[in-house]
């Protein structure tokens, strides 16, 4: 089967981008280019694998200078993300599921050691298939970064000149207003959740209607059970601390203070969601259709688990960014600019 000219061109462009990304990675490794985190490239490369796909994702987001490190971050995401998903799916298989899970765990451990050792040595160790995908990820992201830089450069030449001190002052002040607005929204949202779960949680329910004559009667079957009373005190404490914390941030707009409070609030949020997942005060059997009830149960469980993972990743990202900025001597918003 022959390829069209457009298909050949697309394949050529993808391969060209991948080769250029590979050459750039090798050039940066040999040249010892600085990293966004301030860490040595080989140390950053090791850390990309240390926490599996989570640390890979964190460094892929944080690292914007060194493509050698970004390659290892992307490869960590692909390798350990794939192994994690495969382990979960294969673990559901009856009887042999546990065997597959152990095989994947052993393979993951071997890859983990090999990749950390080679990255620390400064080698660009490439796993078949995963390395190709990582290079494509890198080539794609490099293209977007270059495009955004070109757009900023064009905007800088087209916009009227403004003295640097005034520009910096306006930028910092604008960001401060945005932070205050974000804290105000967080306070309002916390109050809404506080009121809803204490006084209106029974309206999260299955509604059934019956019509007799011209009169329709609705019956409500709440999803929450009495066990919600075990979770409400935890939710209440988290929301009240969130409200107080954001009031403090509105009054004292300090970089270190904000980051520490945000980390604390994220930890409390994670604990609250995990507690809800553990208690699971839901009764979906009130849904007449058994299949729908089972699907709802699975969806709620997956959503809560996803929120927990999101909180966990957010905490790791904030902690790493804070540590990196402290090492670099960044203790204020002005220094960050």
Burial class (CB in 10 A: 0-12, 13-18, 19+), 81: middle
Whether the pLDDT of residue 18 is over 70: the answer is no
* Residue 236: predicted pLDDT: 94
pLDDT tens digits for 145-176?
Answer: 444 455 455 544 444 444 455 554 544 445 77
Whether residue 242 is predicted with pLDDT greater than 90 in this model: the reply is yes
* CB contact at 8 A, 101 and 28: no
For residue 137, the number of C-alpha atoms closer than 13 Å in the C-beta half-sphere is 22
Q: Which residue has the higher pLDDT, 211 or 12?
A: 211
* Residue carrying the six token digits 């490794």: 29
Determine whether 221 is exposed, middle or buried from the number of CB atoms within 10 Å of its CB (0-12, 13-18, 19+). middle
Cα–Cα dist 174/64, whole Å: 24
Q: What's residue 165's pLDDT?
A: 54
Q: 284 pLDDT band (50/70/90 cuts)?
A: very high
User: Tens digits of per-residue pLDDT, 40-74?
Assistant: 888 888 999 988 888 888 888 888 888 888 899 99
Examine the pLDDT at 298 and tell me if it is beyond 80: yes
Task: Please give the residue that has the higher pLDDT: either 189 or 175.
Answer: 189
In Å, the largest CA–CA distance within the chain is 83
Long-range contacts of 260-265 (CB under 8 A, 24+ apart): 260/322, 262/318, 263/315, 263/318, 263/319, 263/322, 265/238, 265/241
Check whether 133 has a pLDDT greater than 80: yes
Least confident of 62-66, 110-114, 302-306: 62-66
pLDDT of residue 3: 67
Q: How far is CA 286 from CA 200, 207, 211, 228, 283, in A?
A: 18, 10, 20, 17, 7
User: For the ranges 13-22, 188-197, 272-281, which has the lowest average pLDDT?
Assistant: 13-22
For the stretch 203-238, pLDDT in tens is: 999 988 888 777 888 888 999 999 999 999 999 999
Instruction: Calculate the average pLDDT of the chain.
Output: 80
- Average pLDDT for 21-41: 65
Query: So where are the chain's domains?
Result: 1-159, 162-337
Mind listing the pLDDT tens digit for each residue in 68-110? 888 999 999 989 988 888 887 777 776 667 777 888 888 889 8
Give the C-alpha separation, 254 to 183, whole Å.
13
Mean pLDDT value across residues 252-259? 87
Report pTM.
0.56
């Amino acid at each position: 089967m022959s390829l069209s000219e457009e298909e050949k061109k697309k394949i050529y462009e993808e391969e060209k981008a991948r080769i250029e990304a590979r050459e750039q990675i090798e050039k940066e490794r040999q040249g010892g280019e600085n990293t966004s985190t301030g860490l040595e490239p080989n140390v950053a490369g090791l850390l990309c694998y240390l926490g599996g796909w989570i640390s890979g994702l964190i460094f892929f987001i944080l690292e914007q200078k060194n493509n050698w490190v970004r390659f290892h971050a992307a490869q960590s995401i692909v390798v350990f993300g794939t192994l994690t998903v495969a382990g979960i799916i294969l673990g559901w298989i009856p009887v042999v599921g546990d065997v597959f899970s152990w095989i994947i765990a052993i393979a993951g451990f071997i890859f983990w050691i090999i990749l950390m050792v080679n990255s620390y040595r400064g080698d660009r160790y490439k796993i078949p298939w995963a390395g190709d995908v990582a290079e494509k990820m890198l080539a794609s992201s490099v293209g977007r970064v270059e495009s955004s830089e070109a757009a900023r450069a064009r905007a800088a030449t087209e916009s009227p000149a403004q003295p640097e001190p005034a520009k910096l002052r306006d930028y910092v002040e604008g960001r401060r207003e945005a932070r205050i607005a974000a804290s105000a929204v967080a306070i309002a949202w916390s109050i809404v959740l506080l009121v809803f779960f204490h006084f209106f949680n029974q309206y999260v329910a299955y509604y059934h209607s019956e019509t007799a004559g011209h009169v329709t009667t609705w019956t409500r079957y709440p999803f929450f059970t009495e066990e919600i009373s075990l979770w409400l005190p935890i939710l209440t404490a988290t929301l009240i601390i969130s409200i107080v914390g954001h009031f403090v941030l509105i009054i004292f707009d300090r970089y270190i203070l904000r980051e520490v409070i945000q980390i604390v609030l994220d930890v409390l949020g994670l604990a609250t969601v995990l507690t809800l997942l553990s208690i699971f005060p839901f009764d979906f059997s009130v849904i007449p259709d058994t299949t729908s009830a089972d699907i709802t149960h699975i969806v709620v469980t997956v959503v809560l688990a996803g929120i927990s993972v999101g909180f966990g990743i957010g905490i790791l990202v904030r902690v790493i960014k804070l540590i990196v900025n402290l090492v670099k001597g960044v203790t204020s918003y002005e220094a960050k600019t």
